[in-house]
Amino acid sequence: MSGDATPIPELIGRKRDGGELSGDELRGLLDRYLADLMDDAQMAALLMAGVIRGFTRDEAIVLTEAFIASGERVDLAGLRGPTVDKHSTGGVGDTTTFVVAPLLAAAGCQVAKLSGRGLGHTGGTIDKLEAIPGVRTDLTIDEVRAQVERVGLAVASATADLVPADKRLYALRDVTATVPSPALIAASVMSKKIAGGASTIMLDVKAGDGAFSPRVEDAVALAELCVGIGTAHGRRTAALVTDMSQPLGDAVGNALEVAAAIEVLQGAGSMRLRDVSLALAAGTLELLGRGGDEALEEVTALLDGGAALERFGDLVVAQGGDRRVIEAPRDVLPVAPVIRDWAPASGIVHAIACRRIGEIAGMLGAGRQRAADVIDPAVGLEIHVRVGDVVAADGRCAGRPAVRIHAADEASADHAAEALAQAVVTGSAAADIVPLVHRRIGFDDLP
Catalytic residues, by residue number, are: 87, 166, 173, 188, 192
Q: What's the distance, Cα to Cα, between the start and end of the chain in Å?
A: 42
Mention every residue, 6+ apart, whose C-beta is less than 8 A from residue 158: 114, 115, 116, 166, 167, 192
**232 close to 106: Cβ distance less than 8 angstroms:** no
CA–CA distance, 179 with 181 (Å, rounded to integer): 6
Alpha helices in 245-321 (DSSP H): 254-265, 271-287, 292-304, 307-318
C-alpha to C-alpha distance for 166 and 169, rounded to whole angstroms: 5
What angle in degrees, to the nearest 10, is found between the helix axes of 254-265 and 97-106? 40
Q: Which residues, listed in sequence order, are joined to residue 126 by a DSSP beta bridge?
A: none
249 within 8 A of 128, measured Cβ to Cβ: no
| Number of residues in the chain | 447
Closest CA to 402 of 349, 335, 366: 349
The strand order across the sheet containing 83-88 reads 153-157, 110-115, 83-88, 200-207, 236-243, 437-441
Beta bridge partners of 251: 382
CA-based torsion, 186, 131, 372, 154: positive or negative: negative
> Among candidates 244, 236, 251, which has minimal Cα distance to 86?
236
